[in-house]
Amino acid sequence: MAKHMSTKQLDLIVAVDKNNGIGRDCNIPWKCKDDMLRFKHKTILTSNPENVNAVVYGRRTYESLKGRRLPNRLNVVISSTKQEGDVLTFPSLNEAVEALDTMTHVEKVFICGGVHIYREALEKMNVTRVHLTRIRKDYKCDRFVEFLPEYLRFYNMTIVRETTDFGFYIYVPKRVI
C-alpha cells in the first residue's frame, strides 16, 4: 500500500519513559514542565500568524485531556464512534489528513497519540520527523511505542541541562535519510 503523501508537514510528537512507555491509566504519569513547554511551542508556532497548526489524536488520548481542546491549534480527533463538539472528528487518520490537506490556513500537522495513531502514521503516512522527549525514569506505563526503532533513524538531539533527567530528540523516518 502506498503511503499517503500529505501536502502539509506531518510530524509526530511524543514523550516516552525509559521503557518507551507513553501513559498509564489513560494519563501521562510524569510531570515535565520543559516537555510541556516544548510541546506547546512546537505545536503552536507557525511561520504566518494567520495560520494554525493541527494536533491530531485518537479518542482515548482526547478523553485523557478531560474533553479540553488544546488552545491556539486546530484539534482533530480520530474516532469511528464518537462525535466531539469542540473539535473536528474523523473516522480515520487518512480521512483527517486528506481533509487537513485542503485547509489552506493549516500549516503543519502534529500526530499526538495514542499508540495506534502513531503506528498508523508511521506505516501509512509520509511523516517528516518525530519530536521525541525521552524521560530517563521508569513510570510503570501500560501503553508503549516499542515499534519506533523499526521506522526511525536518529537525526538530532537537544541537550536541555547537563544534569537533566530527560532529553529532546528528533528522528526521521528511515526512508528520508
Q: Report the pLDDT averaged over residues 87-110.
A: 96
The model's confidence at residue 177, banded by pLDDT at 50, 70 and 90, is very low
Q: In order of start, what are the domains of the chain with their CATH numbers?
A: 9-173 (3.40.430.10)
- Cell numbers describing residue 54: 493541527
DSSP letter for each residue of the chain: -PPB--SSEEEEEEEE-TTSEEEBTTB-----HHHHHHHHHHHH--SSTT-EEEEEEEHHHHHHTTTPPPTTSEEEEE-SS---SSSEEESSHHHHHHHHHT-TTEEEEEE---HHHHHHHHHHB---EEEEEEE-S----SEE-TTHHHHEEEEEEE---TT-SEEEEEEEETTT-
Q: What is the mean pLDDT of the chain?
A: 88
pLDDT tens digits, residue range 27-69? 999 999 999 999 999 999 999 999 999 999 999 898 888 878 8
The model's confidence at residue 151, banded by pLDDT at 50, 70 and 90, is confident
Share of the chain above pLDDT 90, in %: 59
Q: So what's the pLDDT on residue 70?
A: 94
pTM across the whole model: 0.90
